[in-house]
Amino acid sequence: MNINTTAVLIKSFKYREADKLYTFFAKDLGKISAVGKSVLKTKSKVGPSLEFLNTLLVSIYKKNGFGIIKEVKIVQAVPTEKKERNFNFIHYVCDFLNKTLEEDNPANDIYIFLEKFIKFFLKTNESDVFYYCVFTTQILSVLGFMININHCSNCQEKDLSNLVYVTPAFDGFLCNKCTSNGIRISPNAIKFLKVLQNGNYQIISKLSVPTECLNEVKSILISSVHSHLQINLKSQGFIN
Ligand SMILES: [Zn+2]
């Protein structure tokens, strides 16, 4: 059986001799794996295209549940400069996807989000932490874990200046009348989160966010990922 699909590469490791095992996030198929034969040899035609977050047209020959990559065409590649500059972030995205997606289970919402996100990522020139905040806020929303930032989760108070973030068991905000525990969150950080959740990349790419504000949102997201997904993301280490 032959599979021809558009896919984003999210994982690779040395398999045996000159072969590597690759994991893709395919448009209509979800997470799929296949072996790249002799990709570590200099003559390999497919090897150089198989880089993280590249969007590819892949042909896979599948027999007895085992896939072998036949052909790869680049649809969209991450330029070398970008790969070096945002190396840690790229690894984080791939690790996140690999650990949340299920094998052979289509995840169209996540794929559509990823497609848009990669376009934004390739067009802009931001720090790893900024990209972390954008990617994590949005993927949590797509996965159904949107942080409620519009009002106090207890009394519906909407005054953003008096909200306290309660973490990690409770994923939302309480006003200072409803609790005295938790991390105080600045109105700027809430505004930033709101813009990220709205997901308008034209607006996001024009933002200039102070480091303090990035750090606040980053901490909220780290605890949110931890409490919702219960996955161990070593690749998240760069963020601390
Ligand atoms: Zn309240």
CA of 163 to the centre of ligand 1 (A): 8
Read off the pLDDT of residues 1-42 as tens digits, 9 standing for 90 and up. 899 999 999 999 998 889 999 999 999 999 999 999 988 888
29 in a structural domain: yes
CA of 36 to the centre of ligand 1 (A): 56
CA of 221 to the centre of ligand 1 (A): 22
195 in a structural domain: yes
Residues 143 and 217 both lie in one domain:
yes
What CATH number is given to the structural domain containing 203?
Answer: 1.20.1440.120
CA of 164 to the centre of ligand 1 (A): 9
121 in a structural domain: no
CA of 176 to the centre of ligand 1 (A): 7
Which element (helix H / strand E) includes 114? helix 108-123
Cα separation, 29 vs 104, in Å, equals: 6
CA of 158 to the centre of ligand 1 (A): 9
What CATH number is given to the structural domain containing 21?
Answer: 2.40.50.140
Residues 230 and 132 both lie in one domain:
yes
- pLDDT of 165 reads 77
Please give the sequence-ordered ranges of beta strands (E in DSSP) within the chain, or none if there are none: 2-14, 20-26, 30-36, 55-63, 66-76, 163-166, 172-175, 183-184
Where among 64, 79, 94 does a domain terminate? 79
**Can you tell me whether residue 209 is helix, strand or coil?**
coil
100 in a structural domain: no
Which tokens hold the place of 196?
Answer: 């990220």
- pLDDT of 171 reads 64
CA-to-CA dists, residue 5 to 70, 75, 203, angstroms = 12, 11, 32
Read off the pLDDT of residues 201-224 as tens digits, 9 standing for 90 and up. 999 999 999 999 999 999 888 888
132 in a structural domain: yes
Neighbours of 175 (CB within 10 A): 20
Cα separation, 2 vs 7, in Å, equals: 15
Residues 67 and 131 both lie in one domain:
no
Domain of residue 131, residue span: 126-239
Which tokens hold the place of 9?
Answer: 């590469």
CA of 193 to the centre of ligand 1 (A): 19
CA of 6 to the centre of ligand 1 (A): 47
CA of 5 to the centre of ligand 1 (A): 49
Where among 79, 111, 139 does a domain terminate? 79
Domain count, the chain: 2
CA of 145 to the centre of ligand 1 (A): 21
CA of 181 to the centre of ligand 1 (A): 12
Read off the pLDDT of residues 149-171 as tens digits, 9 standing for 90 and up. 888 888 888 887 777 877 655 56
Read off the pLDDT of residues 68-96 as tens digits, 9 standing for 90 and up. 999 999 999 999 999 999 999 999 999 99
